[in-house]
Amino acid sequence: MAIIATDLIHLRRAVDLAREALDDGDEPYGSVLVDASGAVRFEDRNRVKDGDETRHPELEIARWSAAHLTPDERAAATVYTSGEHCPMCAAAHAWVGLGRIVYATSARQGATWRAEWGVPAGPVAVLPITAVAPGTPVEGPVPELVEEVRELQRRRFSRR
């Protein structure tokens, strides 16, 4: 399945949520859950600033889906996210049986930027979603949004 115009609209929203997180003192990540009919069912952004480093939007989406969607609805849903799921979130996505993922920028791109800016690596291995959740259809990065996400990440690390 290729990236189409509606994918870009939802990804655009995920990046806007990432910006909202950054402006509120959190790390710039945002995600949107869209069902098979194209309706946005849930969205969130990073909320780690108060000390819980697991408050990633993709993990919140997995938990929300488990509570509110049937297994069939989860399998037919798509998660749009500004940055590729980390291994924790990729595992949660697969455990609850969610479907396709579309990300604007890859984990590898994020790691490359950190290295370029002299930022130490994080505590969790940088792995593609497919290494953790091999059955999940994945698409990205999406060139139209890469520069914008890179700039949000640059701002995140430059204020530390």
| Stretch of 12-20, 36-44, 51-59, 134-142 lying at the interface with Zn ion (CB under 5 A) | 51-59
Q: Counting contacts by CB under 5 A, is residue 17 touching Zn ion?
A: no
Single-letter code of the amino acid located at 135 = G
| Stretch of 61-69, 78-86, 102-110, 112-120 lying at the interface with Zn ion (CB under 5 A) | 78-86
Site residues for Zn ion, 93-152, by CB under 5 A, read none
- The yes-or-no answer on residue 58 being catalytic is yes
Residue from 86, 96, 102, 142 binding Zn ion (CB under 5 A): 86
Cβ–Cβ < 8 Å for 34, 10: yes
Cβ–Cβ < 8 Å for 70, 47: no
**Residue whose entry in the numeric block shows the structure tokens 């990205």:** 140
Cβ–Cβ < 8 Å for 129, 110: no
We find the least distance from the C-beta atom of residue 4 to Zn ion, in angstroms, to be 26
| Stretch of 44-52, 83-91, 123-131, 142-150 lying at the interface with Zn ion (CB under 5 A) | 83-91
Cβ–Cβ < 8 Å for 20, 45: yes
Q: Which of 27, 43, 58, 84 is catalytic?
A: 58
β-bridge mates for residue 102, sequence order: 80, 139
Tell me how many degrees the CA angle 40-44-47 measures, rounded to the nearest 5: 180
Give whichever of 2 and 19 is closer to Zn ion, judged by the CB atom.
19
Give whichever of 9 and 126 is closer to Zn ion, judged by the CB atom.
126
Q: In whole angstroms, what is the distance from residue 89 CA to residue 56 CA? A: 8
What residues make contact with Zn ion under the rule CB under 5 A?
A: 56, 86, 88-89
